[in-house]
Structure 1
Amino acid sequence: MNLKHLEYFRVLAKVQHYRLAAEQLSIAQPTLTYAITELEKELGVYLFEKNGRNIRLTKYGYIFLEYVEKSINFLDEGQRKIADLVSPYKGRIDLSFIYTLGSRFVPTMIKDFLSIDKHKNISFSFSQGTTKNIIEGLKSDKYDLAFCSSIEDEPDIDFIPLIKQDLVLVVPFGHPLASYKSIDLKETEPYPFVFFNKGSGLRKLIDRLFEEVNITPKNIYEVEEDSAAIGLVSMNFGIALLPDIWMLKHFDVKAIPIINPPYERFIYLASVKNKYLSPAVRLFREFAKEYCTLHSKKIKI
């Protein structure tokens, strides 16, 4: 069924005059007559009947008009929705991020982004998870962008390093290591650990650090996110290697800088390569890169 023919029918149903309807549609009257005839042939009923010099809807025409109105209005709504989504200053951004970034980094950046007047009509949906789950969500179009760790063997994902993140050894107060001002991981060998599970993007880096000092940590508990690890450490279930995040100051734990082995840990902006991104998503992606470059020394994670 031809969409133009439906629009012609809707206008003619309101005007009830072929010449006036054709003028309103900016088409020739024979073109309108042909369209209505083809529509009636397809439906197998007459939609209009003569009413003096004018025309009027048949009972079938009234029934059909109700559905045509709903259909065209629904399509118009969809068109407006798409127009909003592809507008650089409207639409929604589906953003995912690792748990570490949910308390300070992401809320602060989004607040600064939306404080710009031309960005105020852009909305966000947020999701948190492990890097592994986040990458799967990117590839399945669940998310537009993500802040996460980098994963090897993901050729379809573009990882842009945004900001360097320090790791620290976290121990409960009163622990034998709590008096240290810095730590060589070799000195942690006697103590049980709380570890991130294998879905965490940080887990491979932590495993590699222990391999470099040639020790196998006593891994007692595995968790998915930072607050659970900090909570377990504070209750003396073990010690942990964690990102140096502001949340550590709110628990009865001590964060000790790591001096050996050397490492680099970055937070990345991830997206699917060669995938269409709406103007609003592209706008925020560029903002995030510039934001982290300008404020790298001030950003609190």
Structure 2
Amino acid sequence: MNLNHLSYFRVLAKLEHYTQAAEELSITQPSLSHAMFALEKDLGTYLFEKQGRNIKLTKYGKIYYEYVDKALSELERGEKKLKELTNVSTGTIELGYIYTLGPNFVPKLIKNFTNADENKNIKFLFGQGTTQSLIKDLKEEKYDMVFCSLVDDEPDIEFIPIANEELVIIVSNEHPLAKNEFIDLSEVGNYPFIGFSEKSGIRSLISDLFKEVDINPNIICEVEEDNAVAGLVEINYGIAVVPKISSLKYYNVKVLPIINPKHERFIYLATLKNRYLTPSVNLFKNYSIEYGKNNFLNK
């Protein structure tokens, strides 16, 4: 069945006049007649009948018109929606990011991006999670892109470094280590630790740091989210290695820079390789890369 024939049928059904319908469709009357003949042949019934010099819908034509009109209207709405989503100035971007980026990095990035007049009508749909969950959702195309940690053995994903985060030790202000101003990781092996779960992208980096100083930390519990770690440290349940995020200032904890071992913690922009990105998504991707270079990576 020809989609053009259905469009012709809808116009002819509304006007019930071949000449007027052909003019509106910008086709010849014989072409319109041929299309309706083919459609009626496909359906095995007459859709129109003559009424003097004009035509009118048959009983079956009226029934069929209701379905055709609804179907074509849905297709038109779908086409309109796709154009809105893929338009470089009015598209929608589905963005996921790890918890540490919620209070500061992502809001500032979005503000700077949408401050440009040409980007102000672009919409965002946000989601947060651990690196593992974000990568899973990215591969299922829930997100167009995510900000997360680097994950090994993901050949179908492109990881681009976008920012770096300092790692620190946090302890309760009542903890013996709170008298320090900085810390060597080799000095903390005897204290209970609050660790990140396996779903967190930062877990492997922290484990590698402990291996460097030959420490097997006494991990008494594991959580997924940085603020949950800080809350447990605040009540002196344990100490923890965390990214130096802005929300730490709201907790009753002491933040200690790690002077040994030396380390770098990067945040990556992850997208699926060889997958189409809409103009607005591609615009934001390139903007984010430049934003990271100018504000973090070159500092």
The whole-number CA distance in structure 2 between the counterparts of 1:18 and 1:241 is 77
Matched with 2:67 is 67
How many equivalent residue pairs?
Answer: 299
Deviation at 1:23, TM superposition (A): 2.4
The whole-number CA distance in structure 1 between the counterparts of 2:280 and 2:54 is 50
Matched with 1:158 is 158
Structure 2 unmatched ranges of 5 or more = none
The whole-number CA distance in structure 2 between the counterparts of 1:86 and 1:15 is 34
The whole-number CA distance in structure 1 between the counterparts of 2:80 and 2:218 is 58
* Amino-acid identity (%): 54
Kindly indicate whether residue 192 of structure 2 is the aligned counterpart of residue 192 of structure 1. yes
Structure 2 matches for 1:86-101, cutoff 5 A?
Answer: 86-101=86-101
Matched with 1:279 is 279
Deviation at 1:297, TM superposition (A): 8.4
Change (3 A) 1:251 1:298: farther
Deviation at 1:136, TM superposition (A): 1.1
Matched with 2:132 is 132
Deviation at 1:217, TM superposition (A): 0.6
Q: Is the 8 A contact 2:12 2:18 kept in 1?
A: yes
Aligned AA (1:201): G
Matched with 1:21 is 21
The whole-number CA distance in structure 2 between the counterparts of 1:290 and 1:148 is 17
SS in 1 for 2:178: coil
Structure 2 matches for 1:1-301, cutoff 5 A?
Answer: 1-296=1-296
The whole-number CA distance in structure 1 between the counterparts of 2:21 and 2:144 is 45
Deviation at 1:90, TM superposition (A): 1.4
The whole-number CA distance in structure 1 between the counterparts of 2:179 and 2:7 is 79
SS in 2 for 1:295: helix
Deviation at 1:238, TM superposition (A): 0.2
Aligned residues: CA RMSD: 1.5
Aligned AA (1:161): P
Aligned AA (2:246): W
Q: Please identify, of 37-46 and 207-216, the stretch whose mean Cα deviation from structure 2 is larger.
A: 37-46
Q: Under a length normalisation based on structure 1, what TM-score does the superposition of the two structures give?
A: 0.96
The whole-number CA distance in structure 2 between the counterparts of 1:297 and 1:146 is 18
Aligned AA (1:52): G
SS in 2 for 1:296: helix
The whole-number CA distance in structure 2 between the counterparts of 1:163 and 1:17 is 65
Superimposed CA distance per residue, residues 47-100 of structure 1 (whole angstroms, 9 cap, x where no aligned partner): 111111111111221121111111111100111111111111112111100011
SS in 2 for 1:266: strand
Structure 1 unmatched ranges of 5 or more = none
Q: Under a length normalisation based on structure 2, what TM-score does the superposition of the two structures give?
A: 0.97
Deviation at 1:121, TM superposition (A): 1.7
